[in-house]
Amino acid sequence: MMPENRGDRPTAPQSQPDQNPAPGPNQGSGPVYQPSLEQPRAAYHYNTRPPNQPSAFQPQPAYPLAPGAVAKKTRKAGWWWGGLALGLVVMALVAALVVIPLFNRSSRTEADPFAVARDVPAAMATVPVSGTVGAANPAAPDKGAAVQVTGKGEFSKIDAIHYARGTATLGVGADGKKVLRFENFTSAQGPDLKVYLGTRPDGSLVKDGGLNLGALPATDGSYNIILPDDLDLSKYRAVVIWCEAFSVTFSVASLS
């Protein structure tokens, strides 16, 4: 059987693409640009971008924060933590200076150097030192002959947290020493309380012309504060309980 000779058959002509197709209803009469599939995409990519930059079609966060908003949020958090730290420091200082001292009370009791002149007015408190024992002078001096009271007064209440009660007596005791006596004394507690002798009866301007006698020995009791021998007692007209921490008067005893 002989193979079929296909070369003798005529082949149908293959249609070639029309290089100039007829224009459509919405096209002009000129040639139409048709990009080739072999042509790079960048040639007809309209959203061109610099190298190493993210694509315009890359997914973005749903609610992006601008750089200014991030910095503002960071500053706000810093202020919050800073305020919290400052508040804790202030609370610690208040507790150390105010709250804790309120519960730190003390008591002290000492003998009264003015026992002989306790119930005698200040103007008559001095007892003569010289005298002769005998019928002509029956009122002979005793061991309290040197007692002298130059001022005496009651402590006052300024308000609910600044107050003191009791008696302050200034003068020369039975042993000849100059002394300030607190009798039946009690005081509100406070930070760094001091005792001052003031030149004004109302205790004002005590920091200017007053004499600082040091820390308050105790918040309760009856006790003495020994004064310098060369101190002029006549110039002082008030005893002041003074708070050095807050520069405030707790109580005043006007001496008369």
| pLDDT at residue 204, as a whole number | 93
pLDDT confidence band for 126 (50 / 70 / 90):
very low
176 Ramachandran zone, left/alpha/beta (phi>0; psi -120 to 50) = left
The CATH topology of domain 106-127+145-254 is Immunoglobulin-like (2.60.40)
Q: pLDDT exceeding 70 applies to what percent of the chain?
A: 55
| Amino acid at residue number 216 | L
Average pLDDT over residues 20-37: 55
Each residue's pLDDT tens digit, 91-107: 777 666 555 656 678 99
Q: Which carries the bigger pLDDT value, residue 147 or residue 81? A: 147
Q: How many CB atoms lie within 10 A of CB 89?
A: 10
pLDDT confidence band for 50 (50 / 70 / 90):
low
Each residue's pLDDT tens digit, 198-254: 999 999 999 988 999 999 999 999 999 999 999 999 999 999 999 998 899 999 999
| pLDDT at residue 157, as a whole number | 93
Lowest model confidence (mean pLDDT) among 28-32, 99-103, 122-126, 191-195: 122-126
Whole-number Cα distances in Å, 157 to 144, 245, 249, 253? 33, 19, 10, 10
pLDDT confidence band for 73 (50 / 70 / 90):
low
Phi first, then psi: give them for residue 191, nearest 5 degrees.
-75, 125
